[in-house]
Structure 1
Amino acid sequence: MRGLRVACLQNAPAHGCVRENIARADALLQARSADMEGVQLLVLPEMAFMGYQWRSKEHIDEVLDDGGALTLEWCKQTAKRLGCVVCCGLARRSMRRRLNSMVVAGPDGQLVDTIDKTHLYATDKTWAEAGDGFQSRYVVPGLPIGPVGFGICMDINPRDFQVPRPYFQAPPDDYEFAMYHLNAGSRLIVFSSAWCRNHPDDVPEAYVEKDDAQVSAETLSAWLRRLEPLRGQDVHFVCADRVGEEPLRLLGKDSELRTRFSGTSCVISLKDASVLKALSASEEGILVVDIPLSGGFPSTEV
């Protein structure tokens, strides 16, 4: 049985410090260089080098263009150096639109695709516009399996589900993201995330301290709930999520509270809803997983 070796980089980016965050990612990769041998796919979190919380279009414009260019160049160079596909979250500008996106770079160092976040979280709505819909590619050069689906954080949740709680609990038939990938036949779902432990509009009492084990259990449970229509399918979910924290004042809120992120980067087999491997809710590091593949691409014979 063939396999697919994937790696997820879990980092705690310093807000707005793109060059420093890139240097930190390089150090994490260097520390695991032996394990990175043979990796075919490297996934990084949402807004991996820029930080997540921005209070306005003008605020994010401070890093938007330069930070996006630096991120894209790093992805292309790293993909070529490692000989793998690199998927990484960033903010970008397309014409007059500001978008929360994922770039996909191929092992030849060329840009393969750009994926835009479709379901915006409250934090995105301060600066970004929604993308035009979910995506799945039949072929991603460098990957021995297809179709490959993509998603960014809030995409997995219902559109515009807000506080008060439970703001991530959808009606039973409201699984836009999972149903899209079920209908598209996606065999691999690449997911970049900055999953927050609290909604920015939560009351202060909701910002309770939880240990890593509880945070990871709740995070994995939330993702599996939202992927329910794909259970029993030969699909793997590969998620890179960030860790660390950012102050709510970055969103313009008069608060000393800090958004904390959930980590738990993971690879999940949806065939039996099993977690093949996951990082903790707070550590920086690289997760490397060998995924067994029972097939590559679906038959196109009639």
Structure 2
Amino acid sequence: MIFTGYMFPNAHSIHPYLEDPRNGSTSRFCSDLALSLRCYVTAGFPERLSPDEIGVKDATGTPVAGDNSVEGEVGIRNEVDIVGANSAVLYGPDGCWVGGYRKTNLFKTDLTWAKAGTGFTTFQLPAPLHTVTLAICNDLNVFNSTSHLPPPQHADPQKTSPPQSPTQTTSSWTLKEGPYELADYCIAQKTNLLILLDAWLTSGESVHDEEEHDWHNVNYWAARLRPLWVNEGVEGGFVEDGDITEPDVGDETVVVVCNRFGEENGESFAGTSCLLSMRRKSGRPKLFEAMGRREEGVRLWTAG
């Protein structure tokens, strides 16, 4: 959510910042920028629900029947008001709306105000983009699951991965068996480009030293997309751009991770936006470029 921040404690606090799709400030910005640069532009925003979608859910996330909130009556209660959606919008080179997407796998912060989407979204765009899938942050994780990832490379094996999954945890995730909802979806859709719009927290690794990137999180993101590149006989580490690699052996998905940095309401974000190539059965993802943990700016990257 590029203009509003993310760490809202409840529906009451985010309510003034909700935007109508297509004519809110984020949509107008994306439309103007896309038209000016003659390119496709996507960004996240807190979407205002239509009146018939607004409702209330209890602490478990179950809708409360017969108890709908209306605009002007959003407050703090024992139940959680559903007033918006963590959404993304996509505009084309002509400045026109192409489509939108609502985050499917909600993080604990979203659970205080947001309605989940109904599934991942893919767009068929002209060359060279072709099949493009949009996802938002915790969509990498599995709905109602906990993560059980191995430690990252060069990390203390006694330390575990940070909790990044929803607070409702009913099943386990393993590196070998997954499940891998987003990666499997991309394979089924033959996705050429996966765009992840993230507000991912710091990993807790190397936060207090001078390391420029949060490699723990980059490893985490790549691991969550493992079916896009796994080959049990070759697997291990990243290949950096320019390194000698094995021959191209399968379909490729280029992955763009756009992650914010900085601090908000006591939480620190990891930055380290990056561009990756994931080719089926290659055994490892290929890292083209990465921004720093504290870097704000614009980068022009070429995948190929």
TM-score, scaled relative to structure 1: 0.69
Q: Is 2:129 aligned against 1:145?
A: yes
- Specify the alignment match of 1:286 in structure 2: 298
Q: Structure 1: which amino acid aligns with 2:220? A: A
- Specify the alignment match of 1:89 in structure 2: 44
Stretch deviating more after TM superposition (64-73 or 144-153): 64-73
Between the aligned residues of both structures, percent identity stands at 31
Q: Deviations over 1:21-74 (max 9, x none)?
A: xxxxxxxxxxxxxxxxxxxxxxxxxx1111011111121111113797111100
CA RMSD of aligned residues (A): 2.4
Alignment partner of 2:211: what SS? helix
Matches for 1:1-302 after TM superposition, within 5 Å: 47-65=1-19, 69-95=24-50, 96-97=53-54, 98-137=84-123, 139-141=124-126, 143-162=127-146, 167=163, 170-171=173-174, 172-197=177-202, 209-211=207-209, 213=211, 216-231=214-229, 233-247=251-265, 258-271=266-279, 272-292=284-304
Mapped partners of 1:55, 1:123: distance in 2: 7
Q: Which has the larger radius of gyration?
A: 2
Does the Cα contact within 8 Å between 2:254 and 2:275 map onto a contact in 1?
A: yes
Alignment partner of 2:133: what SS? strand
Larger helix fraction of residues: 1
Q: Deviations over 1:60-110 (max 9, x none)?
A: 111113797111100000000010000101111231351101100000000
Q: 1:227 deviation in Å?
A: 0.6
Does the Cα contact within 8 Å between 2:195 and 2:256 map onto a contact in 1?
A: yes
Does the Cα contact within 8 Å between 1:153 and 1:194 map onto a contact in 2?
A: yes
Q: Deviations over 1:112-134 (max 9, x none)?
A: 00011000000111111100101
Any gaps of 5 or more consecutive residues in structure 1? 1-46, 199-205, 248-257, 293-302
TM-score, scaled relative to structure 2: 0.69
Any gaps of 5 or more consecutive residues in structure 2? 55-83, 149-159, 165-171, 230-249
Is the alpha carbon distance of 1:207 and 1:53 closer, same or farther for their aligned partners in structure 2, counting shifts above 3 Å?
farther
Mapped partners of 1:191, 1:209: distance in 2: 23
Mapped partners of 2:37, 2:186: distance in 1: 28
Q: Structure 2: which amino acid aligns with 1:285? A: G
Q: Structure 2: which amino acid aligns with 1:111? A: W
Mapped partners of 1:48, 1:211: distance in 2: 28
- Specify the alignment match of 2:233 in structure 1: none
Is the alpha carbon distance of 1:193 and 1:244 closer, same or farther for their aligned partners in structure 2, counting shifts above 3 Å?
same
Alignment partner of 1:281: what SS? coil
Which structure ranks higher in relative contact order (CA pairs < 8 Å, sequence separation ≥ 6)? 1
Mapped partners of 2:198, 2:210: distance in 1: 17
Q: 1:163 deviation in Å?
A: 8.8
Q: How many residues align?
A: 227
Mapped partners of 1:136, 1:58: distance in 2: 32
Q: Structure 1: which amino acid aligns with 2:133? A: G
Is the alpha carbon distance of 1:229 and 1:87 closer, same or farther for their aligned partners in structure 2, counting shifts above 3 Å?
same
Mapped partners of 1:106, 1:188: distance in 2: 16
Alignment partner of 1:71: what SS? helix
Does the Cα contact within 8 Å between 2:87 and 2:103 map onto a contact in 1?
A: yes
Mapped partners of 1:65, 1:147: distance in 2: 27
Mapped partners of 2:105, 2:208: distance in 1: 27
